[in-house]
Amino acid sequence: MEFLSFLRMIGSLALVLGLLVGALYLVRRYELSLPQAWLGRIGGGGAQRRLQLVERLALDPRRSLVLVRRDEREFTLVIAPEGLLLLESSDANPAADVTDPTAIPPIDAAETDQNA
């Protein structure tokens, strides 16, 4: 009888560990996260945060491209095992429309002379 209890315990442990591994796989595979409203309630919803992860794109299993906003600036970073690489830094302007020709700054003639 004691051996059957031991087998039942080992089987239950294997089942729980299998469920945990399966849940971890799903979270990592589909990049699941808690909604920001839930995180605000858990953390107390204190002061306004200055740092925000705008978007993350997985390039491969070990490398990611991220867009981070700090205050009114946005930074595009590559996160890899070799380290971080800053690709671009710009002012955050969420109201600007890319298709609007007035949103694109004109090219100065002095800049084109320097490049030629």
**Average predicted confidence (pLDDT) for the chain:** 80
Q: What does the pLDDT look like over 82-116, one tens digit per residue?
A: 999 999 999 877 555 445 544 445 555 454 445 54
Percent of the chain with pLDDT over 70: 72
Is the pTM above the cut of 0.75? no
Average pLDDT, integer, range 38-45: 66
Pairwise CA distance, residues 40 & 1, whole Å: 51
Give the model's pLDDT for residue 48: 75
Please say whether the beta carbons of 33 and 56 come within 8 A: no
Q: Which two tokens stand for residue 89?
A: 């830094």
| Better-predicted residue by pLDDT, 102 or 78 | 78
Average pLDDT, integer, range 23-42: 81
Cβ neighbour number for residue 6 with a 10 Å cutoff: 10
Average pLDDT, integer, range 35-50: 69
Please say whether the beta carbons of 74 and 87 come within 8 A: no
pLDDT band at 33 (very low <50, low <70, confident <90, very high): confident
Percent of the chain with pLDDT over 90: 54
